[in-house]
Chains A and B, each alone.
Chain A
Amino acid sequence: MSGPTLGEAGDIVLKLEDVSRSYQMGQVEVRALTSVSLDITRGEFIVILGPSGSGKTTLLNLVGGIDSPTSGKITVDGIELSALNDKGLTEYRRNHIGFVFQFFNLIPTLTARENVEFAAELVEEPRDPLEVLEVVGLKERADHYPSELSGGEQQRVAIARALVKDPPILLCDEPTGELDFETGKHILSAMKMINEVNCKTVLLVTHNTAIGDIAHRVIRLRSGEITEDRRNTAPIDPQELRW
């Protein structure tokens, strides 16, 4: 597989065609996602909103290649994910995706910096780990272990870990859920900047409707279906957010 292509803003980077994901729970079929079709262009900053259980995490997992759809087709940068074997998916995650989990999933034996470096090692041209930590405001705590960091700080390490690989697509599941207002804004600014300067595509899941204002595009999910897909003509700067 070739490395991540930067391409032009406006290219379709991510295409979901009639994607469904259901879970068979004994007799009952839980439909987490139903017939979702989406075209996402490079450089878009997308906020995904929706109540709990509406399928947000499922959508991110499918795009991130750690889950596969029951039906439908997902194409990323011209690569069809369902055609990839395990090795191919690993490569794909390594080179295309930066994940920020709802639960931070840091490696407890590694310091903040090492957690970031650990991800950096996986790609050929990573960003400087310390620099990325500075972006999330954690340069000072770089040599601390996760157990010595607060929940919000751990979350920021998780974000830095996603950024350091410099992936074309960032998938963030509630990245600001644990953060206070100021830090949250700071992180969102950092993401917005990465999106704008480096032309990264960002999918950000949140419960917080207000955050939708900073996005180029807001997608609303309800019971596994897209109920709204609107463009923001004038996204605001995260610093101007109020919630």
Chain B
Amino acid sequence: MKKLRRMLQHKLQRKLVRDLAASKGLFLAVTAVIFLGVAFFGASFLGYQNLRSSYDYTYETLRFADFTIRVVEAPGGTVEELESIPGVAAVTGRMNSDLSLTLPGAEEKRVLARVISLPADSRPAVNDVKVESGSYFQEGEGNVLLVEKNFAEHHGLKEGDTLYLTVDSQRTSFSVAGIVASPEYIWFAKSRQEILVSAETFGVVFVPQDIVTELLGKPFINEFCFLVEEGADRETIIAEAENILDPYVVVDVVPREDQPSNAALSMDLEGFGELAEVFPLLFLIVGALATYILLTRIVHNQRPQIGLMRAMGYSRRQVLVHYLSFALIIGIVGAVAGTIAGYLLSELITKLYTGMLGLPYTKIEMNFLQWLAIEEGLFLGILPCAIAGIIPAWAASRLSPSEAMRPPSPTTGRKPLLERIFPFLTRLSFLWKIPLRNIFRNRRRSLYTVIGIAFGISLILVSAAFIDAIESFMDTQFNKVQRYDAQINFSPNQPQPAALAIEVQNWDEVEKAEPILQIPVRLEHEDNSYSTLVVGLTLNSELYGLFSTSGDRVGVSDEGILLSEGLKKALDVDSGDTLTLLSPWGTQQLEVTGFIQQPLGSYGFVTLGQAQELVGGFPIINGLMLEVEPQYLDSIREKAYGIPGTASVELTGESNEKVEEMMGLIKGMSWIMLAFGAALALAIVFTTVTVNIMERRREIATMRTLGEGKRRITAMITIENLLLGMGGIIPGIPLGYALALLLFRLFQSDMMSYNLVIFPRSYLLTVGLIILIMVVSQIPGIRHINRLNLAQVTKEQGT
């Protein structure tokens, strides 16, 4: 008896292997989905961990500030006083000012440089730099500086190069001592408002403290960087420090999480992290669904075999285990391979990503064994398959033998609802009637197909939406908002008279010149405050486009302030509320008159006059926007340098490039996502369609023996699939839209705001792609059908 059982068991395993081999394409497709889901999860989960730990390690090593306070100016001795606040681990005081910097080279090129002082003889206690090449300051070197890496790379600067800093029209030469990485500029952001800045017009250099003092002619400090002791309450310390610094006028308090580079990195990382959860989840859901469909159909088709097995004496448990094994094999193979691939991929992602950002230190958080030990990937891959498998396997084990051996009657035996409602459908030709009937013949099977397609469509649509959003983002920023061809920025300490605009407008090269005055302010509304820029524009500015949230062109007015959309939430304000504007030079109260679209940054917009009020009522400007005849774009820069205060000349075309480069990256990711979405759609559609065709092979063979041609049979299958495809498109598009809305919220902040736009071409692309997928995935099934051995198949029993 025992021996017999062992033999049966053995045969059962052989059946398992045979069945797997018979539908290997299907099993492979489903396993691939699980594999991709687990690999995706592993790669992104570990990649996320690695990036996090690399950032943390970099911040720790370079003693990145917990918070920074900016003041107008304070004496150096203040540092000791601040250090004595309980809970403060270290304080560095430094001078931080934006100056005009002239680069070496045949053609004069100026950029606005952020000049940051560092101790001449030692490393700073807070916000240290990592010397990538050359060396840190050495005593008695004279006029030397360290160049920030992103900036240096862009201009090909190296040790020994000579640069010039201009203060009050006075040019001083500096020699480059080294290239450094700074924790404050890993993500090359000028400010929270300008996180996509081009190194073409903006740079960062570090200069010894004593040299800065000499250069500026002031023995002052305007920035204090704090490190807080572990366990100390940062808010209390900030309050205390603000108290001490009050006499020197606190301009801004920037906690670490708001520091521009860190904030941009975090936004990026969090976005990555969210995708890392959502995407694999979708894969695993689809994988489970596909496993379920496949197994349900196998059990359905093997009913007579199950009945036979049970009649012969196989136990319920044996039947259950047998059918569950199919699902477990999918899960185990997919999960194990996915776990390994995910780990390898995560290392690659980490390397690529940290390399791209130029992260000074990389730290791999987990080695493969640790990864295996937590086994999340394995668990995540096997669990959905087990759940998906248990239902059909249980159903199989519950079948009564006699019932199971009777040929199943899948049809309800009633005229399909659709034909009862629309009697004309009954008169359709068989070419249409058979596909229609098949769809309603097994509603659950059709439902699976529809769900699968809907999932595929939503994935494709979401990816397409990302691509569209980026394009519309670029379009808004560069065609609607920034309508100028060039912008001249004057040194912060050398503003120009407003009348300069008229003079420049008279230049031959210039079609139009409009003045602009940008002032750093703190906006306050009730308990909320936000540090940003207020932009002063002429009343009917043509070169700076403002568009209300509803898309209408609007302009600044004396009645109040227009705010960027992102500030509505940050400040909790609405139209009609009164806002307080605080600048180092004055305070102003303005009514919020409306909100405008701004893809990059979040500013307030006022009239030039209102802006000038904020700087004490002087009729000055600090920038000029120019519309330039295209042939003069090359020479405008040089001409603008003729104005003494010119710190940099920004060509829209160039900054556009930088943003495009960044956006290209996101776009690239979106295309990869789209490819994955399409692959997923292909896997699920292939599974359902193939199962669908295989189940009817005998029926199709019969049609062929009656004399039906292959082409007509192919047409019937195609019609059926396309009808199901339509059924999937209808729920798939709103599902994709909802998913896009959800994901877009993650990428929305005051630094950057995308609008969810989906161009008609994306809908077309999605629908076209899904139809293509449907047609492609039926090819193997149809090839199989066309090669059927009619004599053999018509002998098979069972309907």
> Which A residues contact B (CB, under 8 angstroms)?
57-58, 61, 64, 66-67, 86-87, 90-95, 97, 99, 101-103, 105-110, 114, 117-119, 121-123, 144-148, 161, 165
- The answer to whether A101 touches B794 (Cβ under 8 A) is yes
Q: Mark B782-795, 1 if CB is under 8 A from A, else 0.
A: 00000001110011
**How distant is the Cα of A97 from the Cα of B429 in the complex, in angstroms?**
23
**How distant is the Cα of A86 from the Cα of B703 in the complex, in angstroms?**
14
Pick from A102, A147, A161: contact of B706, CB under 8 Å: A161
Given contacts A66-B791, A90-B710, A146-B799, contact A109 B705 (CB under 8 A): no
List, in ascending order, chain B residues with CB within 8 A of A67's CB: 789-791
Given contacts A114-B433, A121-B429, A147-B411, contact A103 B707 (CB under 8 A): no
- The answer to whether A145 touches B411 (Cβ under 8 A) is yes
List, in ascending order, chain A residues with CB within 8 A of B441's CB: 108-109
- The answer to whether A119 touches B799 (Cβ under 8 A) is no
Given contacts A107-B699, A108-B441, A145-B411, contact A66 B705 (CB under 8 A): yes
Asked if B507 CB lies within 8 Å of chain A CBs, one says: no
Asked if B437 CB lies within 8 Å of chain A CBs, one says: yes
Asked if B231 CB lies within 8 Å of chain A CBs, one says: no
> What are 14 contact pairs spanning A and B, CB under 8 A?
A57-B795, A61-B790, A86-B710, A90-B704, A103-B794, A105-B705, A106-B799, A108-B410, A108-B699, A114-B433, A118-B703, A145-B411, A147-B410, A147-B799
- Shortest distance between the CB of B407 and any CB in chain A (Å): 9
Q: Chain B residue with minimal CB distance to A66?
A: B790
Q: Chain B residue with minimal CB distance to A60?
A: B791
Pick from A61, A110, A122, A123: contact of B791, CB under 8 Å: A61
**How distant is the Cα of A161 from the Cα of B708 in the complex, in angstroms?**
13
Asked if B266 CB lies within 8 Å of chain A CBs, one says: no
- Shortest distance between the CB of B340 and any CB in chain A (Å): 39
- Shortest distance between the CB of B799 and any CB in chain A (Å): 5
- The answer to whether B430 touches A105 (Cβ under 8 A) is no
- Shortest distance between the CB of A108 and any CB in chain B (Å): 5
List, in ascending order, chain A residues with CB within 8 A of B702's CB: 101, 105-107
- Shortest distance between the CB of B792 and any CB in chain A (Å): 8
List, in ascending order, chain B residues with CB within 8 A of A66's CB: 704-705, 790-791, 794
- Shortest distance between the CB of B705 and any CB in chain A (Å): 5
List, in ascending order, chain A residues with CB within 8 A of B706's CB: 93-94, 99, 118-119, 122, 161, 165
- Shortest distance between the CB of A183 and any CB in chain B (Å): 20
Asked if B303 CB lies within 8 Å of chain A CBs, one says: no
Asked if B734 CB lies within 8 Å of chain A CBs, one says: no
- Shortest distance between the CB of A161 and any CB in chain B (Å): 7
Q: Chain B residue with minimal CB distance to A102?
A: B795
List, in ascending order, chain A residues with CB within 8 A of B709's CB: 87, 90
Q: Which of B323-369 contact A (CB under 8 A)?
A: none
List, in ascending order, chain A residues with CB within 8 A of B703's CB: 107, 118
- The answer to whether A118 touches B705 (Cβ under 8 A) is no
| Interface range on chain B (Cβ under 8 Å from partner) | 20 to 34
- The answer to whether B794 touches A108 (Cβ under 8 A) is no
Asked if B797 CB lies within 8 Å of chain A CBs, one says: yes
**How distant is the Cα of A92 from the Cα of B708 in the complex, in angstroms?**
11
Given contacts A101-B794, A107-B434, A107-B699, contact A93 B710 (CB under 8 A): no
Asked if B698 CB lies within 8 Å of chain A CBs, one says: yes
Q: Chain A residue with minimal CB distance to B439?
A: A109
Given contacts A90-B707, A148-B413, 10 further A-B contacts (CB under 8 A): A101-B705, A103-B794, A103-B795, A105-B701, A105-B702, A106-B702, A109-B437, A119-B706, A123-B707, A147-B409
> Which B residues contact A (CB, under 8 angstroms)?
409-411, 413-414, 429-430, 433-434, 437-438, 441, 698-699, 701-710, 789-791, 794-797, 799
Q: Chain B residue with minimal CB distance to A123?
A: B707
Q: Chain B residue with minimal CB distance to A149?
A: B413
Q: Chain A residue with minimal CB distance to B791?
A: A67
Given contacts A108-B441, A109-B438, contact A95 B795 (CB under 8 A): no
- Shortest distance between the CB of A64 and any CB in chain B (Å): 7
**How distant is the Cα of A161 from the Cα of B411 in the complex, in angstroms?**
20
Given contacts A91-B707, A122-B707, contact A105 B699 (CB under 8 A): yes
Leading 6 A-B pairs by shortest Cβ distance: A94-B707, A147-B409, A67-B791, A109-B437, A66-B790, A105-B702
- The answer to whether B705 touches A64 (Cβ under 8 A) is yes
List, in ascending order, chain A residues with CB within 8 A of B414's CB: 145
- Shortest distance between the CB of B731 and any CB in chain A (Å): 25
Q: Chain A residue with minimal CB distance to B407?
A: A147
Pick from A61, A92, A93, A121: contact of B430, CB under 8 Å: A121
List, in ascending order, chain A residues with CB within 8 A of B437's CB: 109-110
Pick from A99, A101, A109, A165: contact of B411, CB under 8 Å: A109
**How distant is the Cα of A161 from the Cα of B797 in the complex, in angstroms?**
19
Q: Chain B residue with minimal CB distance to A96?
A: B707
Best-buried of B434, B705, B708 by chain A (most CB within 10 Å)? B705
**How distant is the Cα of A57 from the Cα of B413 in the complex, in angstroms?**
31
- The answer to whether B413 touches A144 (Cβ under 8 A) is yes
- Shortest distance between the CB of B444 and any CB in chain A (Å): 15
- Shortest distance between the CB of B244 and any CB in chain A (Å): 85
**How distant is the Cα of A45 from the Cα of B789 in the complex, in angstroms?**
28
List, in ascending order, chain B residues with CB within 8 A of A110's CB: 433-434, 437
List, in ascending order, chain B residues with CB within 8 A of A58's CB: 791
- Shortest distance between the CB of B729 and any CB in chain A (Å): 24
List, in ascending order, chain B residues with CB within 8 A of A93's CB: 704-707
**How distant is the Cα of A64 from the Cα of B794 in the complex, in angstroms?**
12
- The answer to whether A108 touches B708 (Cβ under 8 A) is no
List, in ascending order, chain B residues with CB within 8 A of A105's CB: 698-699, 701-702, 705, 794
- The answer to whether B413 touches A122 (Cβ under 8 A) is no
List, in ascending order, chain A residues with CB within 8 A of B410's CB: 108, 147
List, in ascending order, chain A residues with CB within 8 A of B707's CB: 90-95, 97, 122-123, 165
List, in ascending order, chain B residues with CB within 8 A of A108's CB: 409-411, 441, 699, 799
Q: Chain B residue with minimal CB distance to A94?
A: B707
**How distant is the Cα of A123 from the Cα of B708 in the complex, in angstroms?**
10
List, in ascending order, chain B residues with CB within 8 A of A122's CB: 706-708
Pick from A87, A106, A145: contact of B413, CB under 8 Å: A145
**How distant is the Cα of A57 from the Cα of B794 in the complex, in angstroms?**
11
**How distant is the Cα of A105 from the Cα of B441 in the complex, in angstroms?**
17
Q: Chain B residue with minimal CB distance to A144?
A: B413
List, in ascending order, chain A residues with CB within 8 A of B699's CB: 105, 107-108
List, in ascending order, chain B residues with CB within 8 A of A123's CB: 707
- Shortest distance between the CB of B429 and any CB in chain A (Å): 7
- Shortest distance between the CB of B303 and any CB in chain A (Å): 14
**How distant is the Cα of A105 from the Cα of B410 in the complex, in angstroms?**
14
**How distant is the Cα of A225 from the Cα of B707 in the complex, in angstroms?**
29
- Shortest distance between the CB of A23 and any CB in chain B (Å): 10
Best-buried of A61, A93, A108 by chain B (most CB within 10 Å)? A108
Best-buried of B429, B701, B790 by chain A (most CB within 10 Å)? B790
**How distant is the Cα of A94 from the Cα of B705 in the complex, in angstroms?**
8
Q: Chain B residue with minimal CB distance to A98?
A: B706
Q: Chain A residue with minimal CB distance to B437?
A: A109
List, in ascending order, chain A residues with CB within 8 A of B799's CB: 106, 108, 146-147
- Shortest distance between the CB of B196 and any CB in chain A (Å): 59
List, in ascending order, chain A residues with CB within 8 A of B794's CB: 66, 101, 103, 105
Q: Chain A residue with minimal CB distance to B441?
A: A109
List, in ascending order, chain A residues with CB within 8 A of B797's CB: 103
List, in ascending order, chain B residues with CB within 8 A of A145's CB: 411, 413-414
**How distant is the Cα of A147 from the Cα of B710 in the complex, in angstroms?**
27
**How distant is the Cα of A148 from the Cα of B438 in the complex, in angstroms?**
17
**How distant is the Cα of A161 from the Cα of B413 in the complex, in angstroms?**
19
- Shortest distance between the CB of A43 and any CB in chain B (Å): 22
**How distant is the Cα of A86 from the Cα of B709 in the complex, in angstroms?**
9
Q: Chain B residue with minimal CB distance to A151?
A: B407
List, in ascending order, chain A residues with CB within 8 A of B701's CB: 105
**How distant is the Cα of A122 from the Cα of B434 in the complex, in angstroms?**
15
Q: Chain A residue with minimal CB distance to B708?
A: A122
**How distant is the Cα of A104 from the Cα of B413 in the complex, in angstroms?**
17
**How distant is the Cα of A108 from the Cα of B699 in the complex, in angstroms?**
8
List, in ascending order, chain B residues with CB within 8 A of A57's CB: 795
**How distant is the Cα of A94 from the Cα of B703 in the complex, in angstroms?**
10
List, in ascending order, chain A residues with CB within 8 A of B409's CB: 108, 147
